[in-house]
Each structure stands twice: as C-alpha cells, then as structure tokens.
Amino acid sequence: MDTMANTRKTSHSVLNRYFPIADAVAALFKPHVEVVIHDLTRHQIAYIVNAFSKRRVGDSSAGERFDEAVLEQDVIGPYRKVNRDGHNLRSITATLRDDQARPIAMMCINFDVSVLESIGEQLASLAFLPSSLEPHAPFFHDNWRQALERAVGEFETRHGMAASLMDPRTRRQLIGELDAAGLLSVRNSPPVVAKRLGISRASLYSYLKNIRGS
C-alpha cells in the first residue's frame, strides 16, 4: 500500500512540470483548443486548460484510457472525436513518462474545428460548390492514399474514435469496408493500411483472412 501511495505521489509531482506546456498550447490557440492531462495512476484529470468540455480537475478519466500497447507510442493521433456539445474535434495525445520511461499520464490536445467547418460551408455556398466533391470518385494508383485517408476518416467520424483505439469487432468492420472498396487490392497497400490503422501487418492479414473466408 505504501509503495502504491509513493508511486502516485511521485507521478503527481512529475506531472507538474508539464502544466506550463499545457498552458502555452491553450493560450496560443485560445479559445479553440482544450488541453487535458490525465493521470494514469489515479485515473482522473490532473490538469485542464480552456475546458470547453466542461470537465474539471479530479473528474474521472475512465473514458479516456488507452491500453498498454497504445501507450507504447509517444504520440497518438491525430484522430477525430465528438465533444459533448456535438462539435467535431481534431485531437492528438502525447504519452507523458516518468524518469524511468514509464507512462504516467496522457496530455490530450482537443481542437474544436466547428468554426473552420462553418467557414468552409459558407465558402462552399458562396462559390456554388457541392458539399463534397466527387464523394464516390474512383481512385487510381496515384491517389489511393487520399481515398484511404478519406475512407478511414469518415469511418472514424461515424464511430467517434481513432482507428487505433477501436475494438476488434469495429476494426474488422472498417477493414471489411476498405477491402470492399478495393483499397487493399492496390500493390504494396497493406503496410500503409496497417500503419494508418495502428496495427501490425500480421494482424491486418489475419483480419483479411477472416473477412474473405466468411
């Protein structure tokens, strides 16, 4: 019990060094960016700046927890989320570590892109542009990466989470859609797709074998 208490005390003191960074990022992009530091040892918010999500220090971080495999990455994202008010967010997370390189916290930077979306819609209206240019245009070998990003991005938006954070069932659905669209039939595409989804090539091939077999 004493060891656990000491670990929590140490991690909390180490987190203090990151608070000015959170303040600086939030100040630069205020009021459109919220910065949250989630304490992994206490599973609660240790610090928050420009809290447009209406969360406070001490609130539970249960809904923001990543598994250990994801926390091996220093930077997670960018990925899409939806705020409580329905606004779309473009988010990125940095894994914060102690002096022994153990993950102790996550710094999540949430960018509210609703203003940019509104501006884009107004410009499109003024220019008589359709809401989405050629949404079903066929892809070729020189632009399949754009088609991949669009397909994965739209799926992430529908499900409100990054591809790397999806459970196996949801990820299988995504890979099935990519395969049906022909994005996994392009030469040398599997390594790129696997990297975009945050999984290994072996895992991707396993999903494909299961999908195509059924």
157 and 89, same structural domain?
A: no
141 and 83, same structural domain?
A: no
What are the helix (H) ranges across 51-143?
68-71, 114-126
- CA-nearest of 160, 163, 183, 177 to 211 is 177
6 and 110, same structural domain?
A: yes
Of residues 175 and 185, more confidently modeled: 175
- What confidence tens digit (pLDDT) does each residue in 41-97 have? 888 999 999 999 899 999 988 766 667 777 888 998 888 887 877 788 888 999 999
Q: Is residue 124 part of a domain?
A: no
pLDDT of 8 over the 70 cut: no
Q: What is the pLDDT of residue 11?
A: 57
Mean pLDDT of 96-114: 91
Q: What is the pLDDT of residue 39?
A: 93
Q: Is residue 153 part of a domain?
A: yes
162 three-class SS: coil
- Alpha carbons 6 and 98: distance in angstroms, whole number: 13
166 and 65, same structural domain?
A: no
137 and 105, same structural domain?
A: no
- DSSP track, 20-42: HHHHHHHHHHTTSEEEEEEETTT
207 and 147, same structural domain?
A: yes
- What confidence tens digit (pLDDT) does each residue in 186-200 have? 888 899 999 999 999
109 and 12, same structural domain?
A: yes
CATH number at residue 91: 3.30.450.20
181 and 97, same structural domain?
A: no
Q: What is the pLDDT of residue 176?
A: 93
What's the structural domain count of the chain? 2
Which of 60, 82, 114 marks a domain boundary? 114
Asked whether the beta carbons of 149 and 162 are under 8 A apart, the reply is no
- CA-nearest of 81, 92, 105 to 25 is 92
User: Mean pLDDT score of the chain, rounded to an integer?
Assistant: 81
Q: Is residue 128 part of a domain?
A: no
Q: What is the pLDDT of residue 118?
A: 74
Q: Is residue 122 part of a domain?
A: no
Q: Is residue 126 part of a domain?
A: no
- What confidence tens digit (pLDDT) does each residue in 109-135 have? 999 988 877 776 666 566 554 444 333
Q: Is residue 141 part of a domain?
A: yes
75 and 167, same structural domain?
A: no
Whole domain around residue 98: which residue ranges?
2-114
| 202: confidence class by pLDDT, cuts 50, 70, 90 | very high
The helix or strand, by DSSP H or E, that contains position 109, with its residue range, turns out to be strand 103-112
- CA-nearest of 88, 108, 93, 112 to 29 is 112
Mean pLDDT of 151-160: 86
Q: What is the pLDDT of residue 71?
A: 81
Q: Is residue 73 part of a domain?
A: yes
Q: Is residue 149 part of a domain?
A: yes
**Percentage of the chain surpassing pLDDT 90?**
41
Q: What is the pLDDT of residue 127?
A: 58
Asked whether the beta carbons of 173 and 165 are under 8 A apart, the reply is no
